[in-house]
Amino acid sequence: MKKVMILILLSSLLAFASSDSRSFDVGANPRLNLGNISGKVDIQAGNSNSVEISWTQTDDRIKVEIEQNQDKIDVEVKYPKGNSQGGVDFTISFPAQGRLDISTVSGNINVDGISGELELNSVSGDVDLNNTSGDLELNTVSGEITLTNIGEAELEAETVSGVINYEGNFVGGDYEFSSVSGRLNLTVGSDAHFDLEGSAMKATTNIEVEGLEITKEAYTGFKSISGSVNGGGAKVEVSTISGSITIK
C-alpha cells in the first residue's frame, strides 16, 4: 500500500512539472533583466543577434512572464498566492557582449563568456562568473562568489558571510573585494601586475605574494595590507571586518 501511495505522489509531482522555451531577435545592445526566486540561472555566450531562453518549472502554477521592448528582455517569475514551493531552472543563450541584470533568492547563477555590464545578485545562492570583462557587480549574502579568467574590468564583488574566490591575473582596471564575516581568497599568477590596498578588522590574513606587506596596529588589532606586485598596474582593494583574507 505504501509503494502505491509513493507512486501516486511521484506521478502527481511529475504532472505538475513543465518545460518551455522562447527565442528573441536582438540588435547591438542586448539587455536581459531576470528575477528568480528558487532555481538556477545558467547563461552562456551564443548567437550575436538572438537570445534563447529555456526553462523547467517544478510546478506549472508558477508563471514565467517575458516581455521584449526592442533590445531589452524582461523575465519575471510569479508564484501563486500563498504558495512558495517549487522553482524554475533557466538555461539561456545570450550574445557575448551585452547587459545582464540577474537576481535570485536561493538559486545559483552561472555566467560564462559574456562581457559588458553585468549585475548578479543572490541571497543564499552561489554566483559563478567565467571568461568575462567589463563593468561587473556581484553580491551575495551567504552564497559563494567564484571568479575565473576575468579580463580588464571595473569589478565589485561583495558578500556578507559567504566566500569570494578569485583566480587569475589582474589584466587592468579596478577590482574590489569585500566581506563582513566571509572569506576572501585571491589566487594570482606569478606575472600579475597590480597595486593593492586592504584593510581587516578582526580577521585572519595570509599573504604569500612578494611585494605585499601587512601592518598591524598594536592596540586595536586593525591590519592594513598594501604594496605593488611586479611594478604595479591594476588597482585591487580588499576589505573584511571579521572574515579572512588569503592572497597567494
Give tens-digit pLDDT for 19-75: 999 999 999 999 999 999 999 999 999 999 999 999 999 888 899 999 999 999 999
Distances (CA, A) of 28 to 24, 43, 134, 213: 13, 18, 16, 45
At 183, list the grid cell.
572569506
Q: Which of 172, 171, 170 lies closest to 247, judged by CA?
A: 170
Q: Which of 127, 42, 25 lies closest to 93, judged by CA?
A: 42
Distances (CA, A) of 141 to 8, 85, 126: 39, 21, 10
How many CB atoms sit inside 10 A of residue 82's CB? 5
Confidence of residue 4 (pLDDT cuts 50, 70, 90): very low
d(CA 144, CA 125): 7
Strand positions, DSSP E, 84-209: 88-94, 97-104, 109-112, 115-122, 127-140, 145-159, 163-167, 173-179, 183-187, 194-200, 204-207
d(CA 239, CA 205): 11
d(CA 113, CA 184): 23
Give tens-digit pLDDT for 159-190: 999 999 999 999 899 999 999 999 999 999 88
Please check the confidence at residue 82 and state whether its pLDDT lies above 80. Answer: no
Q: What is the average pLDDT score of the chain? A: 92
Give tens-digit pLDDT for 84-105: 678 999 999 999 999 999 999 9
At 69, list the grid cell.
521592448
Backbone φ, ψ for residue 219 (5° rounding): -105, -30
Distances (CA, A) of 137 to 115, 168, 242: 12, 18, 22
Confidence of residue 221 (pLDDT cuts 50, 70, 90): confident
Q: Which of 57, 104, 107, 102 lies closest to 83, judged by CA?
A: 57
Q: Which of 162, 169, 160 lies closest to 146, judged by CA?
A: 162
At 193, list the grid cell.
601586475
Whole-model pTM: value is 0.90
Please check the confidence at residue 11 and state whether its pLDDT lies above 60. Answer: no
